[in-house]
Amino acid sequence: LGEGAAPGNYGYTNSGYSVYEEENERLTESLRTKVSAIKSLSIEIGTEVKNQNKMLSDMDNDFDSAGGLLGATMGRLRTLSRGSQTKLLCYMMLFALFVFFVIYWIIKLR
């Protein structure tokens, strides 16, 4: 191959081969650090996803209990509305008169 090349060297000089080897080592180390950074990032993402899923599960339970409470309240309102309408109207009128007199009394005391 080359006239001045040493036998068994296949035409590569020692300095050229070591430059490529050093560059490969540097690139390999750079790749290793990037892979470890991606690995740690993916582990952190997994932990965050687990925390978010737990929070969503807790919120789902809270909404279920609030829905049950609202359903019970609506049932009581239906029961109340099935009663006599005149009785309910009388109670509302008495309450309105009471509020009116309280407000009148507060204004008169000033």
* pLDDT, tens only, 69-87: 888 888 887 877 776 677 7
- Supply the pTM of this predicted model: 0.47
Per DSSP, helices labelled H in the chain are 14-82, 85-109
Q: Is residue 6 predicted with pLDDT exceeding 70?
A: no
Determine the structural domain holding residue 32 and report its residue range: 14-83
> In this structure, is residue 2 part of a structural domain?
no
**Distance of CA 54 to CAs 32, 59, 63, 64, Å?**
33, 9, 14, 15
**Measuring CA to CA, which residue among 24, 21, 23, 2 is closest to residue 11?**
2
pLDDT attached to residue 1: 42
User: With bands split at pLDDT 50, 70 and 90, how would you rate the model's confidence at 50?
Assistant: very high
DSSP one-letter string for 10-24: TT--HHHHHHHHHHH
> In this structure, is residue 43 part of a structural domain?
yes
Percent of the chain scoring above 90 in pLDDT: 50
> In this structure, is residue 74 part of a structural domain?
yes
> In this structure, is residue 94 part of a structural domain?
no
When the pLDDT of each residue in the chain is averaged and rounded to a whole number, the result is: 84
Q: Structural domain tally of the chain?
A: 1
